[in-house]
Amino acid sequence: MNIAKQVAINLGKIFPQSVEHKILKELYKPNEVYPPIDPLSYFIVSSDKIKLQTGREQPWKDRRNSFGVIQPGSWDLDCVNYAPSPIANKLYSAKSFVETVHFQSLSNRFIHDYEWEDTELINIVRKAVESGQPAWHGCETFEDIKKQCQHVDDLYTSIKRNGILTMNELNRKKKSFLSSIGDEIMVDVGRTGELLFAHGRHRLSIVKILDLESVPIVISFRHAEWIEQRKELYKKSDYSHPDVPHSTSNNTYPSSI
């Protein structure tokens, strides 16, 4: 992490959100990219557009410093070594988001009325805890597992009742802009423009299970080859992609909030 981004983490302690956002936007904005990228934009997309997972290892780690990153390589092609441990890989690793044990277990819980203890997710987590391995957001005891299950139940109830709100909307009076945006549903953009899930697994799972029409997201990594494609697509006014602004609108993102 460079010094500027280390400073950025503490901006919310000094400035109101509106000022913090302006400073962060300049710190995270990649140079010499056309059309320009607003690294802290929100986008509204159909949850169906997020089908695959990023191949970056532990994309949730240091995520508040990953906005505006442009990266070459094969990280967008597969999910090998996606998670940091064998247990986490069992729960989260799959090319398709909905094929993961985590999503299938939440689907069984909320669509098919499974008890938590009858889901594969909890079966794996219980075995991990019994063997002394923390799992599923750091659960170390059976009580931790029970609390985490209740948290997901509460989250499901909240989203079903109120729709999917941004973390910034939920936390505006409590947290800095950077802290909030770092907890949003986050995607990477692969070389051909595909949206690849990176962070916010519970919330995206519930949105998909409830079949909500749209979901707010933020973008983390962009593949270097996508940046070149994006430049060409920008010239096509009839092309629709959340990361490609309309050429007739002064680079304003059409689906940002």
Residues of the chain with pLDDT under 70: 1-16, 80-83, 173, 238, 247-257
Beta strands in the chain (DSSP E): 43-45, 52-53, 69-71, 186-189, 195-199, 215-223
Q: What is the pLDDT of residue 57?
A: 86
Q: Is the dihedral of CA 11, 12, 18, 22 positive or negative?
A: positive
Q: What is the pLDDT of residue 254?
A: 39
Torsion of CA 130, 135, 139, 140, to 10 degrees: 40
The model's pTM is 0.89
Q: What is the pLDDT of residue 251?
A: 38
Q: What is the pLDDT of residue 13?
A: 61
Report whether 186 contacts 222 (CB < 8 A): no
The residues with which 45 forms a beta bridge, in sequence order, are 215
Q: What is the pLDDT of residues 22-48, one digit of tens each?
A: 888 888 889 889 999 999 999 999 999
Q: What is the pLDDT of residue 148?
A: 98
Q: What is the pLDDT of residue 2?
A: 54
Task: Return d(Cα 135, Cα 147) in angstroms, integer.
Answer: 13
Q: What is the pLDDT of residue 126?
A: 98
